[in-house]
Amino acid sequence: MKIALLGLGTVGTGVVDVLGNNREKIAGLTGESLTISHVLVNDINKERDSGLDGAVITDDIGKIMEDDTIDIVIEVMGGIEGTKNILKAFLEKGVHVISANKDMLAQHIDELVETANENNAQLLYEASVAGGIPVIHGIEHSLNSNQITKVMGILNGTTNYILSKMTIDGWDYDRALDDAKEKGYAEADPTNDVEGIDAQRKIVLLSRLAYGRTVDIGTVPVSGISGVEITDIEYAARENLTLKLLGKSEFRDGVLSISVEPVLLPSDHQLAGVNYEKNAVFVNGNAVGEAMFYGPGAGSLETASAVVSDLINAVRTKNSSHKNFAPDAPAEVGNGSGMNEYYIRIKSSAADDNLAAVLDELSLGFSRIDTESDFVIRTEPIESSRIDELKQNDAVDVAAAYQIDGVE
């Protein structure tokens, strides 16, 4: 079978390596000889390692699209609108497509799935979420007997590395970010990572699968970690709480609650122990109970592992009449996420007893967290709207507020 590889960067190179290193096993699993026949690159004059002997290397997508002998396309080049149009054109020809492109898929997966199903093609995208962790397959196939009610995950290795350095080593945010850049975990412009945009794409794709609803990415509120202060991490630790940036969603009574935000977890929660660049996804189903997928969220070979796994599955099921999963209804997104405890740090411009009196007047039940100077509380379970009310109260200056999740 002939494969067109669109993109030969970090992941594309990893795909070539995995196919080469594991050629005999892959052939045994598929019963096919798989050949990369075409490669789309930005610079055709760049010197490259072996592994692509005989492949047409081009910077012209037209040369690839006009070749009707291609069976499968692997897309690891990025981009959104232009890439979507390219993949849609291949699907219209009945060519199977494998993509690692979370940014494009989070916006256009439903359109592409519809096109794929109309043309008996497969659209596979395991590598688009959490790198080498098989969470897409896990939710779509291994947990498909469950009614899933909650998905919560550490979906970005850059932010998890930064928060781990702050939590474990006591570094401030700027020092941890600089270290992440030096080690290659963060881009020169880390905005998509640290502001939660990357995780937003991933929780959209996971929630779509978990609950069988289309999810409009514009309905997903996002809060990143650039404003996190080491002070709050240290105070929360006194309550045995650990701060993580989570993509989280919950589906109850037909309503979806979904967000990306820094959240405090009990320090013995499974996700609280996931540190540095690792990713993990926590899933709650009515049959399996609680399950967690853990592993590398990025990397050349790690992500390529997921891409080639999709490739093997595509080849093994190429003659199947099975359709790609397609939700038939949009998600009704609710305002808020039910009742939760909150950690709140209030600037003590007034006497502590005055602040306590204000909170009592607001009927906000709380307990004090012992600190040297700051007025820090842990609330009783409340609606998220109460936090908004508190922030709008002129008598209270809220310096930080984090939801507490995972409490039994």
Q: What is the pLDDT of residue 168?
A: 97
* SS3 of residue 281 by DSSP: strand
How are beta strands 382-383 and 339-346 bridged, if at all? antiparallel
How long, in residues, is the chain?
A: 408
User: CA angle at residue 248 from 247 to 249, to 5 degrees?
Assistant: 140
The Cβ of residue 232 has, within 10 Å, a number of other Cβ atoms equal to: 24
What does the block give as tokens for 213? 């609803």
Please state the φ and ψ torsions of residue 154, each to the nearest 5 degrees: -85, 105
Q: What DSSP assignment string belongs to 45-83?
A: TS---SS-TT-EEES-HHHHHT-TT--EEEE-S--SHHH
Q: What would be the CATH architecture of the domain defined by 2-133+302-316?
A: 3-Layer(aba) Sandwich (3.40)
Fold equal for 2-133+302-316 and 339-404: no
Residue 290 buriedness (CB in 10 A; 0-12 / 13-18 / 19+)? exposed
What does the block give as tokens for 331? 């998600």
Q: Which fold has domain 135-295?
A: Dihydrodipicolinate Reductase; domain 2 (3.30.360)
Q: What is the pLDDT of residue 328?
A: 85
- The full set of domain ranges for the chain reads 2-133+302-316, 135-295, 339-404
* SS3 of residue 376 by DSSP: strand
User: What pTM, to 2 d.p., does this model score?
Assistant: 0.95
Show pLDDT as tens, one digit a residue, over the chain (408 residues). Answer: 999 999 999 999 999 999 999 999 999 999 999 999 999 999 998 887 767 888 999 999 999 999 999 999 999 999 999 999 999 999 999 999 999 999 999 999 999 999 999 999 999 999 999 999 999 999 999 999 999 999 999 999 999 999 999 999 999 999 999 999 999 999 999 999 999 999 999 999 999 999 999 999 999 999 999 999 999 999 999 999 999 999 999 999 999 999 999 999 999 999 999 999 999 999 999 999 999 999 999 899 999 999 999 999 999 998 888 899 999 899 999 866 678 999 999 987 555 667 888 888 888 899 999 888 889 999 999 988 889 888 888 888 899 999 999 886
Q: What DSSP assignment string belongs to 295-358?
A: EE---HHHHHHHHHHHHHHHHHTTT--PPPP--SSB-EE-SS-SEEEEEEEE--SS-HHHHHHH
User: CA angle at residue 79 from 75 to 82, to 5 degrees?
Assistant: 90
Residue 46 buriedness (CB in 10 A; 0-12 / 13-18 / 19+)? exposed
Closest CA to 305 of 183, 158, 136: 136
Please state the φ and ψ torsions of residue 338, each to the nearest 5 degrees: 75, -155
Q: What is the pLDDT of residue 175?
A: 98
First to last CA, the chain: 51
Q: What would be the CATH architecture of the domain defined by 339-404?
A: 2-Layer Sandwich (3.30)
Active site residue 202: yes
Which of 84, 102, 202, 248 is the catalytic position?
A: 202
Rounded to an integer, what distance in angstroms lies between the CA atom of residue 120 and that of residue 105? 19
